[in-house]
Structure 1
Amino acid sequence: MKGTIIKLVRGIYYVDTEIGVIKCKARGLFREKDISPVVGDKVEIRISSEDQTGYIETVYPRKTELIRPAVANIDRALIVFSIKQPELNTYLLDKNLIMTNYFGIDSSICFTKSDLDSDEILNRYVEMYRNIGYTVYVVGKTDYSDLESIKESLVGRITSVSGPSGVGKSTLINKINPDINLKTSSVSLKTERGRHTTRHVELIPLEKDSYIIDTPGFSSLGLDFILDERDLSDYFIEFNQYADKCKFLDCMHINEPECAVKEEIGNSIYQSRYDSYILFINEIKKNRRY
């Protein structure tokens, strides 16, 4: 019987099939082949006649996948970051955007807690990421004017909702569909870190052919999926229109003369994005050494 993995909890896969959700385990053969089924995978299962549990027999090829969170067959990613509590971490946001670009997944950004924007930095970042080419939404405790636009973007798609702990992902999902009623939690005032309320990845139906994938929060993200630092600039979308104009075809946009990308820093390319690029270059080099 064919189905879709909608939840994974402690090694138990919940597979949605034509007869309902079946609890399944994965065959040991997958471990030998280094195959790890994830939420969103299309699978074929065998159901035991004894207790009506199942075993995953086949994992079908994925059209898309992400590694953080580990999900498959999504159409787009909604990356959620708060302006305050916890503070906006643009390096971590840029890493998420690099990852979705690397895996060929369309992504948009949602900035939350706009009501805490006392020093008015929100507009600067909204303008920056929109100018780069991303769709950006803004929500706050009393401002959900972008909510309808977010809902429209989810129609007919499977969307992964991800971001650091405490930024308000569960609150946002509850606003999108109050029937879901996900557990929410406050941010620790001492550490300014969110408390994990989502413990597992879960695919949640919204309406016909529309789903969101709720994912646990995170505080870090590696770039080990990029093996060569020379490939990194391909995933900074604002670099692409200038890279062909550099003097050297293999320009790294660091120390080379007549670099069209560096010439645009402060104009079409934001300094903070270039700073992220340099930081990530060094991280990838370090990963390669080890």
Structure 2
Amino acid sequence: MPEGRIVKALSGFYYVLAGDRLIQCRGRGVFRKQKVSPLVGDYVEYQADNDQEGYILAIHKRKNELIRPPIANVDQAILVFSAVRPDFSTALLDRFLVLIESKHIQPLICITKMDLLSEEHKQNILRFADEYRSFGYKVLLTSTADESSLDPLRHCLAHKVSVFAGQSGVGKSSLLNALRPELCLKTDEISDSLGRGKHTTRHVELISAEGGLVADTPGFSSLDLTDIEGNDLPFFFPEMVRVSGQCKFRGCLHVNEPKCAVKAAVEHEELPLYRYQHYLQFMEEIKERKPRY
């Protein structure tokens, strides 16, 4: 059977790229019975009725998948956060990072709209960028008004499947328009009353850019940690992992345990308090989550 990759899903159709051909396919009913839905990024086997239409017969095993946005087999996630309008939020960024880390996807933090900052505000953003780099994350500072600031991002996209994700209104579509002006992706102004943008991206599609494939995805402003267990959460804070070997107890959750190296590092200001507070907040949410049966 011929094989290809789904690069677009829209209105019940899946567009499979096979070589230089784009085949419009429907999924067989067997997927509904198995409660499996094809996702953009899936490698599939298909049967073509002609050069343009066919049916998806099988979905190859995925190395990872996201539900919001719905996409599979991603190499890296470009987490796009604006420095202002909407304001930079470490709490929301940490939620994205935990989710992405739990899916075994490499995160890359991209802070946009740097050109809109006052000098004082800029120094604050630079401090956060340095801190996240010290945790082990790659951080890029960009502005669509400064073409040269996009060069590091272009380099990071080559030979990878990347998903652009982040709160609505932070400039994901604007970034992609700057990288591929011919796309003319729709963007909207930020609502002054809500402090956020309208949802302008309606579907997921993989787009060729800078020698790789990137996905512009519907923006969203909240993340539920529904698939993460409390015992796993500490592993998604790399700065805590580095000192956790000094905790007295193996499997220390860094909450109430005595002689916890992570809590000591926070108290001595060796680890930032805001990250630890977010960790405790996420842990509490996980503990209060209703059990799934």
Q: Which bin holds the TM-score, normalised by the shorter protein?
A: over 0.9
Amino acid at match of 2:81: F
Aligned length: 287
Query: Could you say which residue in structure 1 is the equivalent of 2:35?
Result: 34
Report whether the alignment pairs 1:205 with 2:224.
no
Report whether the alignment pairs 1:169 with 2:172.
yes
Distance 1:132 1:250 in 2: 21
Amino acid at match of 1:12: F
Deviation of 1:237 (Å) = 0.9
Give 3-state SS (helix, strand or coil) of 1:233's partner: helix
Conservation of the 8 A alpha-carbon contact between 2:157 and 2:210: no
Structure 1 unaligned runs (5+)?
none
Query: Could you say which residue in structure 1 is the equivalent of 2:84?
Result: 84
Deviation of 1:64 (Å) = 2.6
Deviation of 1:278 (Å) = 0.7
Conservation of the 8 A alpha-carbon contact between 2:143 and 2:149: no
Amino acid at match of 2:261: A
Give 3-state SS (helix, strand or coil) of 1:230's partner: coil
Please list the CA deviations of residues 32-83 of structure 1 after superposition, one character each: whole Å capped at 9, or x if unmatched: 212111110001111225x942211000011232233221111111100112
Conservation of the 8 A alpha-carbon contact between 2:83 and 2:117: yes
Structure 2 unaligned runs (5+)?
none
Query: Could you say which residue in structure 2 is the equivalent of 1:223?
Result: 225
Give 3-state SS (helix, strand or coil) of 1:150's partner: helix
Amino acid at match of 1:130: R
Give 3-state SS (helix, strand or coil) of 2:46's partner: strand
Q: Under a length normalisation based on structure 1, what TM-score does the superposition of the two structures give?
A: 0.93
Give 3-state SS (helix, strand or coil) of 2:148's partner: coil
Query: Could you say which residue in structure 1 is the equivalent of 2:280?
Result: 278
Amino acid at match of 1:74: V
Cα distance 1:136–1:284, how it changes in 2: closer, same or farther (>3 A)?
Answer: same
Identity %: 43
> Which consecutive segments of 4 or more residues in structure 1 shift more than 4 A?
none
Q: Under a length normalisation based on structure 2, what TM-score does the superposition of the two structures give?
A: 0.92
Counterpart selection for 1:187 from 163, 186, 190: 190
Amino acid at match of 2:243: Y
Give 3-state SS (helix, strand or coil) of 1:104's partner: coil
Query: Could you say which residue in structure 2 is the equivalent of 1:94?
Result: 94
Please list the CA deviations of residues 230-260 of structure 1 after superposition, one character each: whole Å capped at 9, or x if unmatched: 2100111111111121011121101111100
Superposition pairs for residues 1-290 of structure 1, below 5 Å? 1-18=2-19, 20-49=21-50, 52-118=52-118, 119-120=120-121, 121-206=124-209, 208=211, 210-226=212-228, 228-265=229-266, 267-289=269-291
